[in-house]
Structure 1
Amino acid sequence: MNDSTVYLNHMSLINALGYRHNDVLTQLHSGDTSNMQEYYTTINHKRFVVGKVAQELPAIPEQLIKHNTRNNQLALHCLLQLKTQLDNCLNQYPAHRIGVVIGTSTSGIAEGEQALAHYLKQSSFPSEFNYSQIQMSSCAEFISDYLGTKGPTYTISTACSSSGKVFASARSLIHNNLCDVVIVGGADSLCDMTLNGFNALEAVSERLSVPFSANRDGINIGEGAALFIMSREPSDVQLLGVGESSDAHHISAPHPDGEGAATAMQLALQEANISADDIHYLNLHGTGTELNDSMESRAVNAVLTNNTPCSSTKPLTGHTLGAAGATELAFCWLLLQYPNDQQLLPKHCFDGCYDTSLPVMNLVDNQQTYPSIQTAMSNSFAFGGNNVSVIIGRNRI
């Protein structure tokens, strides 16, 4: 082990697939889309297919009521899953040596919508509304306040790449000796603004999304959270490389040839000091939109091999936006942490009509078995050409 090595020691998650590790893995392997559901927005009286968390969420403690948002409840659910491990960290390290870096794109916007609706009717905001709820910093500050940490605490909000980029930032805090441990991840909750905003961009599908299909017509939105404990303490899963780029091709459309996406993937490989052949599974960004899938297939073709098993898991969870990077890296973490005897990978769920105008990719269908994976990559791409690719692997030491 060298001084730059960091590990993702523990992980918790919650999304449309649930939160128990074994249950989530089983559904990923089988391609279970049954948790996707209908969601109604009152702004334009439209129904959407979404990935909504079904579990009852814990209440925000009374002394932290200013942080009372669904987004923070999702994060709290993850914190409670890690209670034993976090207690150990708090006992082992000084509070100022524990950092928090969170990615989000919605924060408490849903609560802001409710407060504004109340104001329009009553000419006053509800008594329980606190403006800080809608600030992007809310989730990171809540986690820090809840745990009593005093280390660097901040949020990254770069749309759909938010909680992929947090891993580079969190690692920097450790590399620069500012922290011994960082709670890192992302959380996003459903809100009408996001749903109707993407609908205004004509990017939302009215049915279950079908990434990389010739019939694809948009995304489904989802919600969820995933948190990791990152440190130098050796464990089963190691953070190998993070590649970031910003091609700034267009405010909402990706570069058609995927140049920025390919650069992020290449930089991640270089930092991990591995080759394309060493990537045993790729979790695709795979939104199901015409432009994203087209450019990502070209980027994958330019950087990896036609044999690299890959899949988009968004038809199972919805696109969790600011939480997508952490959520989908959590799926990769599960694959590395809990190898299965059947040698299955997350199934790529679509209608089977692959768009033949795209470069060929080895989409996982689970009609075949795969070698036990040692290394996995996850892609996240965002508005403005903001791209990130993260590689994790089993600890070989």
Structure 2
Amino acid sequence: MSDKSQYSEQSALYINDLGLLNALGDDLASISSQLFAGSQQGFVLRDDLLKDGKVYVSQVSADLPTLASYPSHFNSRNNQLALHAYQQIAAAVESLKQKLGAPRIGVILGTSTSGIAQGEEAMSAKFKHGAFPVDYDYRVQEMSNVAEFISHIADLPGLSMTISTACSSSAKSFITAAEMIEAGIIDAAIVGGVDSLCAMTVNGFSALESTSAGICKPSSINRDGINIGEGAALAVLSREKSAWRFYAGGESSDAHHMSAPEPSGRGAIEAMQQALDKAQLKAEQIDYINLHGTATPKNDAMEAQAVSQLFPHRPFVSSSKGCIGHTLGAAGATEIAFCCLVLQQQKLAPQVWDNMPDPTMPSLNWVKDTEAQGQLRYCLSNSFAFGGNNVSLIVGLE
């Protein structure tokens, strides 16, 4: 089937519901309010994650549901975040189960941490006491664990899979689900991603000299790296009509470097253009772009180059990282959810930084005033991962 027919009216896909949890809040209303206010309430300085020194991270402060009634191998903070987000979409899932049958609903999620924080705690106990804790189950840190957990609590016996491609993981879940639905393997899916704070990722990015000394400043002349964040973002994707239409996703793999982006933005441009082509949209129809915008020198420079080249009409742009940090495997789903809130509220998510753009980068149309001038119809969100794994998603109003 051609790309042109893949996203035809007959096979159009919709985001029926969203479940969100991150440093801005624990439901759509609170997160929406804090997002458009440009809040940085979730950033904290911690001394228990980095091997040597302190580091700013963006963390969830909400009370999380207990997992005491579930099998022990699901007992992780990652799954607590996932459960909290799932509870927000449970009614929509149950409705689809009645219409489609439980086996026809898939679970396709992204993560980069799974329950590794519990593995770190277990290893620390082993070094101290000579044995792993009796309640430690290695399966808690397997990448497949979060999708298995959601399948378990939602009582969905069909397709269940986890994608782990670092920062593009949950963005890829949307494209994978769309392909599975188009192929007739499933009729609907729970998609999205979950990641929780742990020492492994913080120390890993620190070793790459990619963590910020303070709170990150995406695309600023003073940017010096990322803040790791945590959160969960789940969505229900199906052909049931709703206000948010998932138009398309584009993917590319430039394989330029293990951790650095291809400088010219070639792979990013390919992913964004592919999304536009599949959605049968012209570049000038995009009203707002949620940038990957990590606040690392190379990523921001590459993305500015790519966006300025492909979108000369200068759509509004901003990075959410200044509000919630980089939620890694949950970032793509979180930020396409933010695009849904932009469309719903008809407001623009602000660029939260020091208002000092890097003069060596192409000039972009940074969001300064959240009040939209005219209707916002189409939004694009970028996720660019290690190894040159690039994903762009487009969501719009029906």
Query: For 1:90 and 1:4, how far apart are their aligned partners in 2?
Result: 19
1:347 aligns with 2:364: no
Q: Of the candidates 39, 60, 71, which is equivalent to residue 53 of structure 1?
A: 60
Structure 2: gaps of 5 or more residues:
1-7
1:145 aligns with 2:148: no
Match runs of 1:196-345 below 5 Å: 196-339=203-346, 344-345=347-348
Cα 1:176–1:280, aligned 2, differ >3 Å: closer, same or farther? same
Deviation at 1:61, TM superposition (A): 4.5
Query: For 2:285 and 2:373, how far apart are their aligned partners in 1?
Result: 14
Deviation at 1:41, TM superposition (A): 2.4
Cα 1:357–1:66, aligned 2, differ >3 Å: closer, same or farther? same
* Partner amino acid, structure 1, of 2:219: F
Correspondence for 2:386: 383
Query: For 1:265 and 1:255, how far apart are their aligned partners in 2?
Result: 15
Deviation digits for residues 25-58 of structure 1 (CA, Å, limit 9, x no counterpart): 2222221113211122256242111110000110
Give the match's secondary structure for 1:379. Answer: strand
Deviation at 1:179, TM superposition (A): 1.1
Match runs of 1:177-196 below 5 Å: 177-196=184-203
Q: Of the candidates 174, 181, 185, which is equivalent to residue 167 of structure 1?
A: 174
Contact persistence 2:21–2:85 (CA under 8 A): yes
Match runs of 1:17-56 below 5 Å: 17-41=24-48, 44-56=51-63
Give the match's secondary structure for 1:38. Answer: strand
Query: For 1:234 and 1:338, how far apart are their aligned partners in 2?
Result: 19
Query: For 2:37 and 2:322, how far apart are their aligned partners in 1?
Result: 12
Deviation at 1:368, TM superposition (A): 6.4
Give the match's secondary structure for 2:9. Answer: coil
Query: For 2:117 and 2:322, how far apart are their aligned partners in 1?
Result: 23
Query: For 1:381 and 1:114, how far apart are their aligned partners in 2?
Result: 30
Query: For 1:101 and 1:61, how far apart are their aligned partners in 2?
Result: 24
What is the root-mean-square deviation in Å for CA atoms of aligned residues?
Answer: 1.3
Pairs aligned (count): 391
Query: For 1:306 and 1:36, how far apart are their aligned partners in 2?
Result: 34
* Runs of 4+ more than 6 Å apart: none
* Partner amino acid, structure 2, of 1:315: G
Contact persistence 1:345–1:366 (CA under 8 A): yes
Correspondence for 1:85: 92
Correspondence for 1:125: 132
* Partner amino acid, structure 1, of 2:165: T
Contact persistence 1:345–1:370 (CA under 8 A): no
Deviation at 1:233, TM superposition (A): 0.8
Correspondence for 1:359: 362
Deviation at 1:144, TM superposition (A): 0.4
Query: For 1:107 and 1:368, how far apart are their aligned partners in 2?
Result: 37
Cα 1:42–1:284, aligned 2, differ >3 Å: closer, same or farther? closer
Deviation digits for residues 90-115 of structure 1 (CA, Å, limit 9, x no counterpart): 33332211100001000011011001
Correspondence for 2:5: none
Query: For 1:154 and 1:305, how far apart are their aligned partners in 2?
Result: 38
Correspondence for 1:94: 101
Give the match's secondary structure for 1:46. Answer: coil
Deviation at 1:64, TM superposition (A): 2.5
Deviation digits for residues 49-106 of structure 1 (CA, Å, limit 9, x no counterpart): 1110000110114232210111111110011112222222233332211100001000
Query: For 1:70 and 1:371, how far apart are their aligned partners in 2?
Result: 42
Deviates more, 1:365-374 or 1:66-75: 365-374
Deviation at 1:125, TM superposition (A): 1.1
Deviation digits for residues 144-198 of structure 1 (CA, Å, limit 9, x no counterpart): 0111111110011000011111111011121111112200000000000100110
Query: For 2:248 and 2:235, how far apart are their aligned partners in 1?
Result: 16
* Partner amino acid, structure 2, of 1:377: L
Deviation digits for residues 191-213 of structure 1 (CA, Å, limit 9, x no counterpart): 00100110010000010111111
Compute the TM-score of the two structures, normalised by the length of structure 2. Answer: 0.95
Query: For 2:372 and 2:189, how far apart are their aligned partners in 1?
Result: 36
Query: For 2:104 and 2:28, how far apart are their aligned partners in 1?
Result: 29
Q: Of the candidates 372, 375, 382, which is equivalent to residue 372 of structure 1?
A: 375
Deviation at 1:305, TM superposition (A): 2.5
Query: For 1:373 and 1:64, how far apart are their aligned partners in 2?
Result: 45
Contact persistence 1:108–1:133 (CA under 8 A): yes
Correspondence for 2:3: none
